[in-house]
Amino acid sequence: MTLQTLIVERHGAVTLIRLNRPEALNALNGQLMDELTATLDETEADASVRCVVITGSDRAFAAGADIKEMASKSYADVFTEDFITANWERVTRCRKPVIAAVAGYALGGGCELAMMCDFIIAADNARFGQPEINLGVIPGAGGTQRLTRFVGKSKAMDMVLTARMMNAEEANQCGLVSRVVPLADLISTAMEAAQKIAALSPNSVMIAKELVGAAYEAPLSQGVKMERRLFHSLFAFDDQKEGMAAFVEKRPAKFTGK
Ligand code: CAA
């Protein structure tokens, strides 16, 4: 597929995906979401990719679903094409970690896409919001559910009902993002985190990701039980022997994924 709305770069075992519709502040249209879905399919199928970073521009991660494309759609259109479900949620099914590196606006579907990633690193100019209520609609890509789990009921209600934006500092304080860095350091920080993850044992990385994700969906007792079973299962891999032997022998581990 020739990509027109994304720039995809390969840096060792990390794929960096840049959303690239600058004329529309990276508004998420059907083409972009199709291209993102196809790119994530490829990264998942490529064993040499170990981690993915999704970013936008300095001005906008993404200013939401493309309002100009959406404006004339009827109920029959969105229901029949299964709008959002059809091509927006591929990132939630990735087994490899996906980091969102957010600068500028992450609004509506842009905020929702960032929240679908495993964690968000924000630049100090990042602004998060769910302003769909201003358009006579509501968040449609998980915003009412994921934002509430991230920041709690009161802040989620405030943002979803008033369309107020949150700056990077507030997003950091309430746990929406994992860290805030100066804008100039955003990509290098996200890539450093991704390269660190990419060098680890891929099995333990995928299992750890699955379990932290499960904490949002399963009751605590079931999540802990699942963690124990999968923790035990990692002792079936060579990487567990190698990782622990390397510690004891005071040398770097050489993980093989076996
Ligand atoms: N869809 C389509 N085009 C968009 C867009 C969007 N979501 N956001 C910005 N653009 C376009 C603007 O129309 C403008 O294009 P033109 O130059 O052709 O007029 C260009 O990007 C630059 O935007 P602005 O001139 O508006 O830039 P600004 O700096 O004055 O304002 C902004 C920036 C506050 C982000 C403002 O653009 C804005 O409010 N955007 C819309 C945000 C929004 O409502 N997002 C939610 C969308 S609905 C949704 O996402 C549903 C869902 O849950 C799935």
pLDDT in tens, 32-78: 999 999 999 999 999 999 999 999 999 999 999 999 999 999 999 99
Instruction: Quote the mean pLDDT of the chain.
Output: 97
Q: How many helices (H) and strands (E) does the chain have?
A: 11, 10
pTM of the prediction?
0.97
Interval between CA 65 and ligand 1 midpoint (Å): 9
Atom of ligand 1 nearest to the CA of 64: 50
Interval between CA 63 and ligand 1 midpoint (Å): 5
SS3 51: strand
Torsion (CA) 114, 140, 84, 96 in degrees, nearest 10: 30
Bridge partners, 202 (sequence order): none
Identify the residue whose tokens are 């920080």. 189
pLDDT in tens, 135-193: 999 999 999 999 999 999 999 999 999 999 999 999 999 999 999 999 999 999 999 99
Give the pLDDT band of residue 1 (cuts 50, 70, 90).
confident
pLDDT cut 70: percent of the chain above it: 100
Hey, which residues are catalytic here? 65, 109, 112, 132
* Type and span of the H or E element at 188: helix 186-198
> Which residues, including other chains, have CB under 8 Å from residue 90's CB and lie 6 or more apart?
36, 37, 40, 41
- Residue 142, phi-psi category: left (phi > 0), alpha (psi -120 to 50), beta (remainder): left
Residues with beta carbon inside 6 Å of ligand 1? 24-25, 27, 63-68, 84, 105, 107-109, 112, 131-132, 135, 139-141, 143
